[in-house]
Amino acid sequence: MQRHLLIISTTVGLFAGAASTSALADTSPLEQQLKDLASFQVIAHRGASGHAPESTMAAYELAHEWDVDYLELDAQITADGEVVVFHDDTIERTSNGEGAITDYTLEELKALDTGTWFNEANPGSADPTFVGAKILTLDEVLERFGHDARYYIETKSPHLNPGLEEALVAILEEHDMIDSGHVLVQSFEQESLQKMHQLNENVPLIQLVWYYPSEEDDSRLVEWTGVTPGPADIADEDFQAVAEYAVGIGSNFIYEGQEVIDADFIRQANENDLQVHVYTINETDEMKRLMDMGVNGLFTNYPDRLLELVE
Ligand code: G3P
Ligand code: CA
């Protein structure tokens, strides 16, 4: 879907050029997906996870009902090789189990309750229907929403999830999600993205980055994975190196109260053919600020707040 900013943006040129949803006859679904990325994207982070337990069907149902552009989810692999939707490396924060998620079979994970923790942590949003929510397989999410949604899938902790990329591509191909233009794959690990590209060159990729102050000199920012220099030192060549395999960058915005990227970063990335999506923005003021800076999309646990700012 296409949306236009309600607030005044200093980078209206980018949005004024946004593609129409009416694809030309000779535009492939994949090309249409890339054109759609030129307009502002609302990305529901782990579903509408501010309102319902993250990564559960309740959170994805709500986000889908609100007609977001992408459902964001983290993919991991179980001890018996099933791809599940789960963020943390360990299960204790969001379930009644404990230990590494990759140590459990799907059957064991399905016995867990991933909803009660949310009710206890968020009494104002608690709902008895969340109790007993099950960990989802990727298959279950894709079967539920099919081609009526787009999916922004992270290969989470690839070093802890060997075989994840192969299993992920097989599932996406089985559901015809790639050539139909319904999926982006994101990762902090460049190697994981390159593996995805080798497995299926049509998967559009997003390089995640995380900027934070250097331990040696906290006045300078560095990037966690080493994929790019810090924003103050980043050059066109650095963006172009990412643009060789990715269509965008997913960045943090604030580290311990300090803004780590600015409008120049977004502009320079755009000039080098990279969209910039920022995670995870939950406050309306910050959403507005980033939109004024020209950001191309936001990950949020509160897509309802973000949707109020776009039409
Ligand atoms: O995928 C974007 C953002 O979700 C990355 O951070 O830790 O929430 O997966 P995380
Ligand atoms: Ca994620």
Ligand 1 atom closest to residue 277's alpha carbon, by position in its atom list = 2
Same domain, 85 and 11: no
**Ligand 2 midpoint to CA 72 (Å):** 7
Same domain, 194 and 144: yes
- For ligand 1, atom 3, name the residue with the nearest CA: 279
Which pLDDT belongs to residue 8? 35
Q: In the predicted model, what is the mean pLDDT of the chain?
A: 93
Q: How many domains does the chain have?
A: 2
**Ligand 2 midpoint to CA 121 (Å):** 21
Q: Which ligand is nearest to the CA of 209?
A: 1
Same domain, 20 and 66: no
Same domain, 10 and 90: no
- For ligand 1, atom 5, name the residue with the nearest CA: 279
Ligand 1 atom closest to residue 250's alpha carbon, by position in its atom list = 2
Give one DSSP letter per residue of 87-122, joined into a string: -SSBSSTTSS--SBGGGS-HHHHHTS-SSHHHHHH-
Ligand 1-lining residues (CB < 6 angstroms): 45, 72, 74, 87, 154, 186, 208, 250, 279-280, 299
68 within 8 A of 307, measured Cβ to Cβ: yes
Task: Please report the sign of the dihedral spanned by the C-alpha atoms of residue 52, residue 257, residue 265, residue 232.
Answer: negative
Same domain, 295 and 192: yes
Same domain, 89 and 217: yes
Which pLDDT belongs to residue 150? 98
Same domain, 16 and 110: no
Residue ranges in the chain whose pLDDT is less than 70: 1-25
Same domain, 61 and 151: yes
How far from 305 is each of 40, 91, 96, 124, CA to CA, in Å? Answer: 14, 29, 30, 17
Task: Give residues with Cβ within 8 angstroms of 306, minimum separation 6.
Answer: 42, 281, 287, 298, 300
Give the model confidence (pLDDT) of 193-251 as tens digits: 999 999 999 999 999 999 999 989 888 999 999 899 999 999 999 999 999 999 999 99
Give the model confidence (pLDDT) of 49-70 as tens digits: 999 999 999 999 999 999 999 9
pTM of the model: 0.92
Give catalytic residue positions. Answer: 45, 87
CATH number of the structural domain spanning residue 128: 3.20.20.190
- Tokens 């109790």 correspond to 131
Task: Give residues with Cβ within 8 angstroms of 282, minimum separation 6.
Answer: 50, 300, 301, 302, 305
- For ligand 1, atom 6, name the residue with the nearest CA: 279
| Alpha carbons 199 and 191: distance in angstroms, whole number | 12
Which pLDDT belongs to residue 271? 98
**Ligand 1 midpoint to CA 279 (Å):** 7
106 within 8 A of 118, measured Cβ to Cβ: no
What is the SS3 assignment for 204?
A: coil
Which pLDDT belongs to residue 6? 43
Which pLDDT belongs to residue 291? 98
- For ligand 1, atom 7, name the residue with the nearest CA: 87
Q: Please give the radius of gyration of the chain, using alpha carbons only, rounded to the nearest integer.
A: 19
Same domain, 16 and 151: no
CA 157 centroid distance within chain: 14
**Ligand 1 midpoint to CA 174 (Å):** 25
Note down the domain range covering 6.
1-28
Same domain, 202 and 222: yes
Ligand 1 atom closest to residue 299's alpha carbon, by position in its atom list = 2
Same domain, 111 and 187: yes
Burial degree of 287 (CB within 10 A; 0-12, 13-18, 19+): buried
Same domain, 267 and 165: yes
Ligand 1 atom closest to residue 280's alpha carbon, by position in its atom list = 3
